[in-house]
Amino acid sequence: MTCRCILRCVHDNIQRKTNKWNSLHTQFRYFHVTCQKKRPLVLGIESSCDDTGAAIVDESGHILGDALYSQHLIHLNHGGIIPPIAKDLHIKYINPIVSQALERAGVTPKDLSAIATTVKPGLPMSLMVGLLYGTKMAKEHNKPFIPIHHMQAHALTVRMVEKVNFPFMVFLVSGGHCLLAVVKDVDEFYLLGNELDDAPGEALDKVARRLKLRNIPGYETLSGGGAIEKMAKLGDHLSIRFPVVMTQTLNCNFSFAGLKQRAQEIIQEEEQKYGIVADEIIPTVANFCASFQYAVARHMIRRLERALIYAEAKGFIPERPKSMVLSGGVACNEFIRDAVRQVCNKYDYELFCPPPKLCTDNGIMIAWNGMEKWIAGKGITKDIDSITVENKSLIGKSLIEDVENTRIRLRNPVKLVQNKDASQETTS
Ligand code: KG4
Ligand code: ZN
């Protein structure tokens, strides 16, 4: 029970007593309020893409209050994110969302220790809404401002809920990103691999749209990746062969555009074969989804294996058991999680995945990253007016070239199935 809960409980009990307790009650009430205000509290604001989020967390990772407005359904109708629409929706919702988070936390801006806001990477128009709001609030209430890197926040979120010590390996897989990095400290990240084109979530979203999965009852509101995962459960992942990608490049970068392209060609062929028109869906949809999801997962884990071998060779993660964090929207996918778990088992890593609510974009992860920086006394801005937003920004120092120069060949990569498709498993 926290100090806050105990005091609230005592305070509530006292309130029910007779007048003779009144003065004691007043003293406790004063103590309770003072105690709450002395705890470090950070407000986090997220607006980098299509979610407007805000949350207040304390130093032990308790979420005092949070609120989120997702534009997901609106953009689903447009077939993708339209930046000016995203911006307008952030403008409309940012104040209600921040106010709601504060109200749920039972605090006012003056109780905050600092205000943290995502400033990179992301859609500049969307980021700008958060930055202007956060800095205005910081100035008005005379609070320190902490600019946040969205991907670093994703990487550190797990530390709110699990004991994951530095250094650890992180694998971030979302609709906008796919990266592998070593996290050495709150402000020290080393990039081992990055997306070269489409992120996995983006490829899954586009293929789901091309398959018209939204026309299926029960799939209307699912994200593309969620829809493919649900359908894949009904199919055979070895039924349709996708190419093994990037077999000749000995780095940890990712490319999903080729797989997406091949997927679109196969859908076209299937539609012709079965005479599919308008809103109809190919009858082989379940097998197709299972096979595509398998191809996406296989590419991800091949790159992951190389990263783990490289980290071992460089002594980046000396502690045992070594920690591996998988996060981002695509990390909600059970098949992909399981694939990553298999690699972790092989290389003696313990796998940590934040709960789905913390895997996707939200204000909580921004507040927590702000809190980690606040505790470490790092990254607190000195000149609030100098902060700008950035569309692209690496999570940290790039070691991509060094990985490639190390020329690691996977001799015996993890096979996701024991199996029928052994011939498909070439080394990369
Ligand atoms: O991290 P996130 O909420 O937003 C950013 O992209 O930053 O991730 C959203 C992505 C979408 O592309 C969505 O299709 C994907 O995560 N996603 C999934 C699943 N749930 C969401 N992908 C695969 N399987 C899922 N169950
Ligand atoms: Zn994100």
Q: What is the pLDDT of residues 108-138, one digit of tens each?
A: 999 999 999 999 999 999 999 999 999 999 9
Which of residues 35 and 211 earns the better pLDDT score?
211
Residue 319 gets which letter from DSSP? S
Identify the weakest region by mean pLDDT among 161-165, 227-231, 317-321.
317-321
Helices vs. strands in the chain: H and E counts, helices first = 15, 11
Q: Are strands 322-327 and 168-173 parallel, antiparallel or unpaired?
A: parallel
Mutate to test the pocket of ligand 1, among 177, 202, 332, 393 (most ligand atoms within 8 A of CB): 332
- Would you state the pLDDT for residue 294? 97
Average of per-residue pLDDT across 141-167 = 97
Average of per-residue pLDDT across 307-314 = 97
- Would you state the pLDDT for residue 85? 94
State the greatest distance between any 2 C-alpha atoms of the chain, in Å, as a whole number.
Answer: 86
Distance of CA 72 from the midpoint of ligand 1 (Å):
11
Global pTM reads 0.87
Q: What is the pLDDT of residues 316-369, one digit of tens each?
A: 998 788 999 999 999 999 999 999 999 999 999 999 999 988 998 999 999 999
Distance of CA 105 from the midpoint of ligand 1 (Å):
28
Distance CA 170, CA 346 (A): 17
Say if residue 9's pLDDT is above 50.
Answer: no
Instruction: Return the top range by mean pLDDT from 80-89, 352-361, 370-379.
Output: 370-379
Which ligand is closest in space to the CA of residue 229? 1
259's CB contacts (< 8 A; 6+ apart) are 203, 242, 243, 245, 292, 295, 296, 299
Distance of CA 321 from the midpoint of ligand 1 (Å):
28
Which of residues 18 and 395 earns the better pLDDT score?
395
The number of the ligand 1 atom at minimal distance from the alpha carbon of 293 is: 23
Structure-block tokens of residue 250? 């000995």
- Would you state the pLDDT for residue 252? 97
Task: Tell me which residues have their CB closer than 6 angstroms to ligand 1.
Answer: 49, 174-176, 201, 204-205, 223-226, 229, 328-330, 332-333, 360-361
The number of the ligand 1 atom at minimal distance from the alpha carbon of 150 is: 7
Confidence of residue 107 (pLDDT cuts 50, 70, 90): very high
What is the 3-state composition of the chain as percent helix, strand, coil, each rounded to the nearest 5? 50, 15, 35
Mutate to test the pocket of ligand 1, among 75, 178, 198, 330 (most ligand atoms within 8 A of CB): 330
Average pLDDT, the chain: 90
Q: Residue of the nearest CA to atom 16 in ligand 1?
A: 329
Reported in sequence order, the residue ranges of 59-197 that DSSP labels E, i.e. its strands, are 63-70, 114-120, 145-149, 168-173, 178-185, 188-193
Distance of CA 336 from the midpoint of ligand 2 (Å):
17
Say if residue 6's pLDDT is above 60.
Answer: no
Confidence of residue 36 (pLDDT cuts 50, 70, 90): low
Domains of the chain (ranges, CATH numbers):
41-161+361-386 (3.30.420.40), 171-353+396-406 (3.30.420.40)
In the sheet that 145-149 helps form, which strands lie side by side, from edge to edge? 63-70, 51-58, 41-46, 114-120, 145-149
Distance CA 166, CA 159 (A): 10
Mutate to test the pocket of ligand 1, among 51, 120, 170, 174 (most ligand atoms within 8 A of CB): 174
